């Protein structure tokens, strides 16, 4: 079969399965967009949980960095060095996470690839079955033995660790799972890892409302905290926080950082300014507003990610289209991102949503016979 024929067959297979995807153009800023037909849409799809992509201090910091250093970093940090803002941001991130050191990556995806490939060789890696794709791909690149644990099953993790042959073991998990919006049992995971002498890798990308590990308890185990600049901090990039020794090892072994251009100064400066907001009284206010928005949609839900499971893919696509007609952008999530038969609408809330916009979403859902609760 020629390459052309194979590509045509693959595209036809995607179309016939009802899983065709394509990029759409939405113009606008913040959470209000305009589509190609001129409709005004309120986005319930963004990970800009605190609305900081539009915060004046964050925007001003990015502008100032461009004026000082230009638009790009020039190359990888080990080639051309870092700008001062990279080191300042790493120090602030380490302090925020109560860790001795931190290291920037170009994206959160690259951070997981770097951590797992650098630390996983020759080790046993246990990954929750609902972990993000970046963790899955990092496990594949690790050259370690990978075991998939049933979602949230601490007993299964404990059993796999107890029966292992490898001297080193690593447990990796999202703290907030990106398609279900539920949270990991961090205290239980730390206890298991401490009992079985395993490292714990926590991906905290979506943990704007928690959970936060207990710092004293976390100190009982070797650990790495992976985060992103691209969600709560309203910029672009990823980071790892942990011991100085682990960060030093990643500087020398994490290929997804060594062989790629560094985070732009503008992105680093924006994230640094956003972190200042997050750690201020204003940040407390924004999280409280986000908490209120989540509670209106699904009371006491632990994260801003609220899934509404529709089941069949076609039904989910029809629901997303109906919401779009009502002015609400809510993505339809289908296999292979989620399991067959569990296609869903994925609502994400932001502190930037007004009470009126949340009411608009609830009314639109009710009009098509769906309830988020």
Tokens representing 95 are 């302090």
Query: Can you give the pLDDT at residue 11?
Result: 95
- The domain total for the chain is 2
Tell me which DSSP letter residue 52 carries: G
- Higher pLDDT pick, 184 / 336: 184
292 in a structural domain = no
* CATH value at residue 95: 3.40.640.10
Neighbours of 47 (CB within 10 A): 18
- 60 and 40, same structural domain? no
Q: Compute the average pLDDT of residues 134-144.
A: 96
Do the Cβ atoms of 56 and 291 come closer than 8 Å? no
- 338 and 207, same structural domain? no
Query: Can you give the pLDDT at residue 22?
Result: 87
Query: Can you give the pLDDT at residue 61?
Result: 98
Query: Can you give the pLDDT at residue 70?
Result: 97
239 in a structural domain = yes
Do the Cβ atoms of 116 and 135 come closer than 8 Å? yes
Confidence of residue 222 (pLDDT cuts 50, 70, 90): very high
Query: Can you give the pLDDT at residue 35?
Result: 82
DSSP bridge pairs for 201: 172, 224
Q: At what angle do helices 281-297 and 355-367 cross, to 10 degrees?
A: 20
- 241 and 104, same structural domain? yes
Query: Can you give the pLDDT at residue 78?
Result: 94
289 in a structural domain = no
The per-residue pLDDT for range 147-157, each reduced to its tens digit, is 999 999 999 99
* pTM for this predicted structure: 0.95
293 in a structural domain = no
Q: Quick check: 115 pLDDT over 90?
A: yes
Q: Quick check: 305 pLDDT over 90?
A: yes
32 in a structural domain = yes
* CATH value at residue 319: 3.90.1150.10
Query: Can you give the pLDDT at residue 87?
Result: 98
Backbone angles phi, psi at 265, to 5 degrees: -55, -35
Backbone angles phi, psi at 125, to 5 degrees: -115, 125
């Amino acid at each position: 079969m020629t390459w052309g024929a194979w590509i045509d067959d693959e595209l036809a297979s995607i179309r016939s399965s009802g899983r065709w995807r394509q990029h759409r153009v939405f113009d606008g800023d913040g959470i209000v967009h305009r589509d190609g037909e001129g409709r005004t849409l309120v986005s319930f799809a963004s990970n800009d949980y605190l609305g900081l992509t539009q915060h004046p201090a964050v925007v001003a910091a990015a502008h100032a960095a461009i004026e000082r250093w230009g638009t790009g970093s020039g190359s990888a940090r080990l080639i051309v060095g870092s700008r001062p803002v990279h080191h300042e941001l790493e120090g602030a991130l380490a302090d925020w996470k109560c860790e001795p050191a931190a290291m920037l990556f170009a994206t959160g995806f690259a951070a997981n690839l770097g951590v797992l490939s650098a630390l996983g060789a020759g080790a046993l890696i246990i990954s929750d079955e609902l972990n993000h794709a970046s963790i899955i791909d990092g496990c594949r690149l690790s050259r370690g033995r990978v075991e998939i644990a049933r979602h949230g099953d601490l007993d299964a993790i404990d059993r796999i660790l107890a029966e292992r042959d490898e001297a080193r073991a690593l447990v990796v998990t999202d703290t907030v799972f990106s398609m279900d919006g539920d949270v990991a049992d961090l205290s239980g995971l730390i206890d298991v890892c401490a009992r079985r002498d395993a490292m714990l890798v926590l991906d905290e990308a979506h943990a704007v409302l928690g959970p936060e590990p207990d710092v004293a308890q976390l100190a009982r185990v070797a650990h790495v905290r992976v985060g992103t600049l691209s969600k709560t901090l309203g910029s672009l990039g990823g980071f790892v926080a942990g011991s100085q020794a682990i960060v030093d090892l990643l500087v020398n072994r994490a290929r997804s950082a060594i062989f790629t251009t560094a985070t732009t100064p503008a992105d680093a400066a924006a994230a640094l300014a956003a972190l200042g907001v997050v750690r201020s009284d204003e940040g407390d206010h924004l999280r409280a507003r986000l908490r209120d928005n989540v509670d209106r949609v699904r009371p006491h839900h632990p994260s801003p990610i609220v899934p509404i499971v529709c089941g069949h893919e076609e039904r989910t696509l029809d629901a997303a289209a109906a919401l779009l007609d009502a002015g609400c952008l809510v993505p339809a999530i289908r296999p292979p991102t989620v399991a067959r038969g569990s296609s869903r609408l994925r609502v994400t809330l932001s502190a930037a949503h007004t009470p009126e916009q949340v009411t608009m979403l609830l009314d639109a859902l009710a009009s098509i016979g769906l309830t988020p609760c």
